[in-house]
Amino acid sequence: MAFPRVQTSRGELRIHESLDDLSTDLVEYISELSDASVKERGVFTIALSGGSLIGLLGKLSEAPYNKTIDWVKWYIFWTDERVVAKSHPDSNYKLAKDGLLTKVPVIPSHVHSINDSLSAEDAASEYEFGIRQLVKTRLISVSDINDCPKFDLILLGMGPDGHVASLFPDHSVLGVKDEWVTFITDCPKPPPERITFTLPVINSASNVAVVVTGGQKAEAVRQAINAADVGPNSVLPARMVEPTTGKLVWFLDQQAALKLDGVAVSK
């Protein structure tokens, strides 16, 4: 089934009537990128986020994708993680494991989660070191214009405040440019300690998809996407997602897209 797409200066918009339609389109998009990457490079490197996004990926574990996707070629990372035990309800790893990873034939050693026995600072450093080793071997591609990793796909959600990964409005980590993975200990929403990809890493990806649902996020979506909404003061982290050479796609439901200018929601 083909869903409508709208090209804007802020990337491609895909706006859906229902969460089911959004999920259907999202998993097909991921499947197509996986197939293309495996054909070109022999692997597919994907970075996941937490929250409601994982629930929208459930169709990946169903037919036909559970059979047609070359799961053994997937290498899985996280854009951000809460510094809690892997068994903790707040763990993004646990969310993905329970919602998807135990239902598809991924290779356990290809799943790269943080070391939950370390402090936030040490966990971030160790996670970055692991990624750097994989960039050296080119399992993860490297950006053509800087030394950042070039993931095949980074999947992001967005909060009502416009945060992506664990990059929150007006936080100092938004300005970090010389690290791939950094940490925070004062997150404005619990739990306070987290690790997160930095903006240079997110913006170096081949493909970035931002998935947003719900009317409570409509104002943040407007500020993140509308061309006229760049103010002199605070810029939302989601607005700062601008892939340098990669492609940006927004997956929105009707409610999240309500305040966008000049964009009709297709039925």
Q: Which residues of 96-128 are buried (b: 16+ CB within 10 A; e: fewer)?
A: bbebbbeebebeeebbbbbebeeebeebbbebb
Q: Long-range pairs for 100-107 at CB < 8 Å and ≥24 separation?
A: 100/54, 100/57, 100/58, 100/60, 100/61, 101/76, 103/61, 103/66, 104/60, 104/61, 104/66, 104/69, 104/71, 105/71, 105/72, 106/71, 106/72, 106/74, 106/76, 107/71, 107/72, 107/74
47-102 pLDDT, tens digit per residue, is 999 999 999 999 999 999 999 999 999 999 999 999 999 999 999 999 999 999 99
- Establish if 3 belongs to a structural domain: no
List the domain range (segments joined by +) for residue 52: 27-223
Helices first, then strands: H and E counts in the chain: 6, 12
The predicted pLDDT at position 231 comes to 54
- Establish if 242 belongs to a structural domain: no
- Establish if 253 belongs to a structural domain: no
- Establish if 87 belongs to a structural domain: yes
- DSSP code per residue over 96-143: HHHHTGGGS---GGGB----TTS-HHHHHHHHHHHHHHHHHTTSSEE-
Task: Please tell me the pTM assigned to this model.
Answer: 0.96
Residue 4 corresponds to which amino acid? Answer: P
In the block, residue with structure tokens 């490297």 = 142
3-state secondary structure of 82: strand
Q: Could you give the C-alpha distances from 105 to 86, 112, 116, 216, in angstroms and in order?
A: 20, 15, 24, 36
Which phi and psi angles does 180 have, rounded to 5°?
-90, -40
Is the sign of the CA dihedral 74, 176, 165, 224 positive or negative? negative
Give yes or no for a contact between 250 and 173, defined as CB atoms under 8 angstroms apart. no
Check residue 161 and report its DSSP letter: T
Give yes or no for a contact between 160 and 221, defined as CB atoms under 8 angstroms apart. no
Total of domains in the chain: 1
- Establish if 40 belongs to a structural domain: yes
**pLDDT band for position 3 (50/70/90)?**
confident
- Establish if 4 belongs to a structural domain: no
CATH of the domain at 110: 3.40.50.1360
Q: Is residue 233's pLDDT more than 60? A: no
Q: Is residue 267's pLDDT more than 60? A: no
- DSSP code per residue over 66-81: HHHS-GGGEEEEESEE
- Establish if 179 belongs to a structural domain: yes
- Establish if 261 belongs to a structural domain: no
Tokens of 257: 């897209």
**pLDDT band for position 4 (50/70/90)?**
confident
